[in-house]
Amino acid sequence: MRGKTIMEKLKLKTELYWRLHDDSVSVFTNNSDLQKRIYVSNPQKLFSVLKFLETPKSKIDLYNNFPECSHKYIDKIINFLKLKHYVYIDSDVDTKFSRLKSFVSTIPETDFDSYIPKLNSIKILILGIGTGGSFQLEVLKRIGIRNFTVIDKDKVESKNLCAQNFEVNDVGKYKVDVLKQKLQDTTTCIKVKKEFLTSYDNLASIVNLNDYDYIIDTMDDKKVNLQIISRLFLDYPNQKLILNGYLVQKQMSYLVDKNNYATFLEEINELFSEINTKNEISSNSGSIFNAMFMALSIGKIIFDDIFQVRLTNYAYADFFINDYFIGNSWEKKIFEQFSLVKKSLSTVAYPVTTSKKEWINHITSENYLKTKILRKPKLSQIEQRYVKTKSSFETLISSKKMYNDIKTMDDSGEIGLTQIKQELTDFGIYNFGESSIKIFEDIYMHDRIYDKKKRFDKAANLTLFNSGQPLVYVTEQNTASKKLNTLLHEIFHLLLYSKTLNTYQQEDLVLNYYTKFLIQNYDKPAFKTLLIAHLKDTLALYMNSFTSVQYEKYLINDNLKEFPKIPIISDTSKNEIIQILNIDLDLKRPFHTLKYVYATENNFKAVRQIYSLVKEGKNETISKTV
């Protein structure tokens, strides 16, 4: 008797998020990085076939349901969907793993079913189930791994409850017993060893290390950790070890194998050599954040390794500045550039060590007029010319007089960007063309302004570019008009980046155009306090910048004792001058603020016109042109 042919059944992977368009059907629609379009002559017909496959169907079912379509057309669709892994074929997975199956199947060209045998065979050894390991078992179980051995002799204490995977009624019980009772079921095998590990040999006597695909070390014992790294790969070269550790407000996890263990061992030896318990005072500060991030990162490292998603061997968290990274050590080099920017904008996240490249020391009351050049700085042509040219103090004296006249004027008006949006857009289009509209849209609509200073945010104003897109950081000013003035200064930088990247020209043009913008709109109510804020900031910036570049000039010319004789400096307290210098001087290179001096001096006629408008309400036409 001839056996009956069983027809395979196909089911669309609906989790890939399909959408019908006029000219195509998209897949991975809600993920812009993965989205693809399928262009066909009749998108509606293709979408109808896909809709029909929301439940398992055979090829015969498709033929019968779409009699208007040729078998060749249906076969072509089926072959395409199978080739791209867009359908399940005779799939039958335990219901409790259905969400995991859907998640894995959203990885391009990946079928969960083909990995089930591998998941069933993987064995994991976990050393220690405290803060680092207590949630680990649960995460790994939920990504489909079934076989575990856990080694830990500790009992649950009340102090563990806020950071580890235990409850009040678990206190006094062995941690391994609690987790086994909680997580073992008909599909999960958890073997427990109530042992306190004292050495690598001790570990090797308790379990056969060759039985495991991954060993996760979350123990606090540095001596045993070091022994494991040193000897594991000599005895078992194909083993994979995941190491973990946390510092104050930081945490990291590493996937170590035969290819990188020697380098890693060298780094660990260097780190441990610096530790002398006699000279240290410390205690465990591991929190639920450490526990959950470690569980997530180790789970993702193992997941990516099993499903060959990508090379993932390193995870890092800085809970203070909210840096979280899971990837590989090469990608971490890219991520570090981002981290450095974030750290530079924090008031407390800064390096302790000083650079050997500094050209002068930090200014103190003792070395104020005695400081020496540590390293001869390399000067640009503009800076060389400035050092050699005799200084003029006319602009400085005028600035001081104007500032004293207006410093008590009220600039606290509640004004925001939306109130002058139309004037700014019109000015931008007229002076910079239609391209300015996109810059304004990026600023207005895409959350590219950070201006809400929190406790540890550095007070600073700057513009960054990420993949060509502007990011504006303005936290230095406290009143609304001052904050808007600073924001507008940065926006004009964005408008002028296409004209020049020269920092001197940039500051010159920004002040020129921004002042012109204010003068053109001076008579509108929204601009009243903005003009005052702009004038105060411009004059203060100029006077402080002039002071710092003059100090650098006198120092380079070996004439520092004459510095206090500069007009207005002789009327300012020594402590105030030192404060200005330490804010404005860049210890890595001189003349950091010279660009602001030149910009103000080149546009000083326009600055006077703002002053005239503020003091007398007179409208004088700006004569400087760009």
* 3-state helix/strand/coil string of 422-439: HHHHHHHHHHHCCHHHHH
pLDDT of residue 623: 37
List, in sequence order, the alpha helices (H) in 109-214: 116-121, 136-142, 175-183, 200-206
**177: three-class secondary structure by DSSP:** helix
pLDDT of residue 265: 84
Task: Return the structure tokens found at 241.
Answer: 């070890």
Backbone angles phi, psi at 41, to 5 degrees: -70, -30
Backbone angles phi, psi at 227, to 5 degrees: -65, -40
Alpha carbons 457 and 343: distance in angstroms, whole number: 9
Find, among 140, 151, 197, 190, the residue nearest to 174 by Cα: 151
Backbone angles phi, psi at 251, to 5 degrees: -155, 150
pLDDT of residue 289: 94
pLDDT of residue 515: 96
Q: What pTM, to 2 d.p., does this model score?
A: 0.70
Is residue 264 within 8 A of residue 256, CB to CB? The reply is yes
**445: three-class secondary structure by DSSP:** helix
Query: Tokens 């009749």 identify what position?
Result: 42
3-state helix, strand, coil in the chain (%, to 5): 50, 15, 40
pLDDT of residue 499: 84
DSSP β-bridge partners for residue 13: none
Task: Return the structure tokens found at 94.
Answer: 């335990």
What does the buried/exposed string (b/e) look like for 373-410 if buried means 16 or more CB atoms within 10 Å of the residue's CB? eeeebeeeeebeebbeeeeeeebbebbbebbeebeeee
Alpha carbons 308 and 167: distance in angstroms, whole number: 36
pLDDT of residue 477: 62
Starting at the edge strand found earlier in the chain, the sheet holding 469-474 runs: 449-450, 469-474, 461-466
Task: Return the structure tokens found at 500.
Answer: 């020049």
DSSP β-bridge partners for residue 461: 474
Find, among 108, 113, 58, the residue nearest to 86 by Cα: 108
Is residue 388 within 8 A of residue 509, CB to CB? The reply is no
482-516: per-residue pLDDT in tens? 888 988 998 898 888 878 889 999 999 999 999 99
Tell me the domains of the chain and their CATH numbers: 9-92 (3.90.930.60), 114-270+285-311 (3.40.50.720), 381-616 (no CATH)
User: Using the 8-state DSSP alphabet, how is residue 354 labeled?
Assistant: P
| C-beta atoms surrounding 13 within 10 Å | 22
Is residue 516 within 8 A of residue 606, CB to CB? The reply is yes
Chunked mean pLDDT (size 10), the chain, 626 residues = 68 95 94 91 96 95 96 96 93 75 89 88 95 90 94 95 94 96 92 95 96 94 90 95 89 91 81 70 86 94 91 92 89 81 68 62 91 91 95 94 92 84 92 85 73 74 72 77 89 86 92 96 89 95 96 94 87 91 91 96 96 70 36
Alpha carbons 333 and 325: distance in angstroms, whole number: 11
Task: Return the structure tokens found at 528.
Answer: 């009243």
517-557: per-residue pLDDT in tens? 999 999 888 898 899 999 999 999 999 999 999 999 999 99
What is the C-alpha end-to-end distance of the chain, expressed in Å?
95
Phi-psi region of 439 (alpha: psi -120 to 50; beta: other; left: phi over 0): alpha
CB burial class (10 A; 0-12, 13-18, 19+) of residue 517?
buried
547-558: per-residue pLDDT in tens? 999 999 999 999
**440: three-class secondary structure by DSSP:** helix
